Amino acid sequence: MTMSGWSADRIPDQSGRRYVITGANSGLGAAMAEALTAAGAEVTIACRNLDKAERVASSIGDRARVAELNLADLSSVREFATGVDDFDVLINNAGVMALPFARTVDGFEMQMGTNHLGHFALTGLLLPKIGERVVTMSSLAQNWGRIHADDLNWERRRYNRWSAYGDSKLANMVFGRELSRRLTESGSPVRSVLAHPGYAATGLMRQSETPVDYLMRAGEMLHVGQSAAQGALPALYAATEDVANGSYWGPDFVVRGAPASARYRSAADDQPTRDRLWVASEKLTGVTFEV
């Protein structure tokens, strides 16, 4: 199903609605914040780099506020969650990509720790305050990921930065789908939906310190992909339109285009895989969900 011609100016009136967007200090997140506030919403820009966040917020105006959140530090996640009032929509957007091996404050592999475990903990802590939906950003990289629930932190495997990134984005997909199931079974009115940006020209795609960076730059120069504002459209559609719980949205031409229903790996619907990842995530983060 393709939403032909759907663009940010078709976002329904968002007056009175409140959003929390992680990593909205640049790229896709900043584009989402700008589009949502233009439609009348109030947005909390939740991120680690407060200087960049303040610049984005000042360009938007009084409908945007900044709050510190470091997804690579569970104490920061807990502090942020404690300070947030009730709101409507959480957009789990922040992420790191193809980093050299590093660990978070809590000892998690940095990509899994930031992209999945940090958002898992944040969502669990905020869920009682969320009125309408959770939008989790996955990626085309989920297509090469695997869920190693017994080794999420690369303690038994030889580290590969691109495999680690794919694993973390498949984990986002598995988490979002399982959360939708649990919300439905608990009778909650909250929805869990997912999106991916296709190939969007953001700085995230040119920081791997590998030859792939040159391919990314070439792709941007040849306009293979799309702008951050265009890449944000599937998530904006998922966040503002009446979409089904558990649905997944991306560009209609896969790497670019208007929002459309997207395909995902069958692993995301494998219940034993879901269960193993959920249990491992709860154990590592110490966060349990009320659903």
The catalytically annotated residue of 19, 165, 248, 264 is: 165
Flag whether pLDDT at 213 surpasses 70.
no
Distances in whole angstroms, Cα of residue 137 to Cα of each of 37, 56, 186: 20, 20, 23
Q: What is the per-residue pLDDT across 127-154, written as a single tens digit (0 to 9) for each?
A: 999 999 999 999 999 999 999 999 999 9
- Kindly list the domain boundaries of the chain, sorted by start residue: 8-282
78: Cβ contacts below 8 Å, ≥ 6 apart: 121, 125
State pTM to two decimals. Answer: 0.93
**pLDDT given at position 114:** 98
- Please give the DSSP secondary-structure letter assigned to residue 105: T
Q: What is the per-residue pLDDT across 114-130, written as a single tens digit (0 to 9) for each?
A: 999 999 999 999 999 99
Dist. CA 108–CA 152, nearest whole Å = 8
Total residue count of the chain as it appears in this document: 291
Q: 8-282, which class in CATH?
A: alpha beta
**pLDDT given at position 218:** 47
Distances in whole angstroms, Cα of residue 134 to Cα of each of 110, 111, 216, 245: 23, 21, 30, 10
Q: Identify whether 159 is a catalytic site residue.
A: no
